[in-house]
Structure 1
Amino acid sequence: MNKIIGLALLVVGAVLLYFGYNAYNSAASEVTEFVTGSPTDNAVWYLVAGGLAAIIGIGVLLKK
């Protein structure tokens, strides 16, 4: 059961990282980064949440 949860977290993390990467490279994010010096909040949250979910998923998969 833990392997399924770990795999699900890993997949969700990968999907969130994909959306975060796309949001980070979007036109709106580039304009916001040009004006404010930082990317949009959505892009940052997607990347952070995706990274955490992927790390937790890998940890659950590697745990005995």
Structure 2
Amino acid sequence: MGLKRRRFKQTDSLETRLSQFALDMRKRADQKPPGDQREALLKRAHNADQAIDLERQLREH
């Protein structure tokens, strides 16, 4: 018998979760000095913003 998969329902929408993730990445980036780590965090925030835009476009159609 295989392992049982844990299942749960998300309480917040994808857009809300992505938005919170982006905000968290920006806060973490603000605490870092200029450099590769800061740029990586800002890139992750930017990618989350793009995912929000894409999700909105898909929802409209």
TM-score, length basis structure 1: 0.48
**Which of the pair has more CA radius of gyration?**
2
